[in-house]
Amino acid sequence: MAKVAFLGLGVMGSPMAGHLAAKGHDVTVYNRTSAKAEAWVAKHGGAHATTPREAARGAEIVFACVGNDDDLRSVVLGADGALAGMERGATFVDHTTASAEVARELAAAAAEAGIGFVDAPVSGGQAGAENGVLTVMCGGEAETYAKVEPAIMSFARASRLMGPAGAGQLTKMVNQICIAGLVQGLSEGVHFAKRAGLDVEAVLEVISKGAAGSWQMENRGKTMNAGTFDFGFAVDWMRKDLGILLDEGRRNGAKLPVSALVDQFYAEVQSMGGGRWDTSSLVARLER
Ligand SMILES: NC(=O)c1ccc[n+]([C@@H]2O[C@H](COP(=O)([O-])OP(=O)(O)OC[C@H]3O[C@@H](n4cnc5c(N)ncnc54)[C@H](OP(=O)(O)O)[C@@H]3O)[C@@H](O)[C@H]2O)c1
């Protein structure tokens, strides 16, 4: 079992760090709002530190799961950043959904200090984190990845190295592209079924067994029909992810017309006050 640190105890980070502790790792946590770190230690044991640097000191692996590119830079770089506290040979594993560019930038900064870096965004949501069944998409060097995979599997059902630094983030972008259009299609289906006077739950139940079935239909269909969205993956986060992948698409020449359109639909949901609603709230703008 390893001495590890975990930076960022949000909806995702807190249960992920909890699984590491439950597997017997020696975990030191850091959270910007320190009350959350204190509460985490009271529940799971281990220790908490007041800066990323302090948390990272002596750790073989430092995990992070914060908000966006700039949040990530703020916990990795600078005098109080994790790299300042890490020793040569240690590895930084980043579970934030961020750009491929920041992954390459931080991998280079880490390499200069003799530290490994793996970008490792996750899929599976809050429930996946709490139940320890996330899917993890990784970028980095094979030798570095091999060192951290067993610890990642403390909270994952699947983890895979996809290529060099940034490849994990690029894979997560594909994940979000596939979800964006699908949720809009599902929203239109639910909306149409209502207008047609059908029993929406019965419709979803029968068609989910056929070619239209999806994770979103199984897990979000009922709540979309009921119009409840106060849970899950926030629209604000989805817009961050769509912004990242549309930028990348402009660079690599990929055509993403539906993703760009759905991004605008989510902007409408934000203007309806739905920034923290689950991404299935796309249906709400059709029902207005
Ligand atoms: N929620 C999901 O279903 C889900 C699924 C897949 C991927 N993700 C991705 O996972 C990441 C985290 O999501 P989440 O839902 O756990 O978010 P969250 O609940 O909002 O937690 C964000 C965490 O990052 C910390 N943080 C933010 N900015 C920071 C900064 N500048 N310096 C230091 N710490 C900072 C926050 O600290 P404070 O407590 O002080 O605010 C908090 O611990 C995001 O990139 C998101 O896109 C989320």
Centre of ligand 1 to C-alpha 40, Å, is 15
Which residue, judged by its Cα, is nearest atom 10 of ligand 1?
A: 96
CATH of the domain at 13: 3.40.50.720
CATH of the domain at 249: 1.10.1040.10
Same-domain pairing of 19 and 140 = yes
pLDDT tens per residue across span 239-278: 999 999 999 999 999 999 999 999 999 999 999 999 999 9
pTM: 0.96
Looking at 163, 179, 212, the residue that finishes a domain is 163
Rg over CA atoms, the chain = 20
pLDDT tens per residue across span 34-85: 999 999 999 999 999 999 999 999 999 999 999 999 999 999 999 999 999 9
Q: Choose the residue to mutate in 12, 123, 134 for probing ligand 1, maximizing ligand atoms within 8 Å of C-beta.
A: 12
pLDDT tens per residue across span 124-166: 988 999 999 999 999 999 999 999 999 999 999 999 999 999 9
Same-domain pairing of 159 and 174 = no
Same-domain pairing of 54 and 83 = yes
Q: Choose the residue to mutate in 50, 237, 266 for probing ligand 1, maximizing ligand atoms within 8 Å of C-beta.
A: 237
Looking at 163, 196, 222, the residue that finishes a domain is 163
pLDDT at 112: 97
Cβ–ligand 1 contact at 204 (below 6 Å)? no
Q: Is the pLDDT of residue 1 over 90?
A: no
Q: Which domain holds residue 209?
A: 170-286
In sign, the C-alpha dihedral spanning 14, 18, 19, 21 is positive
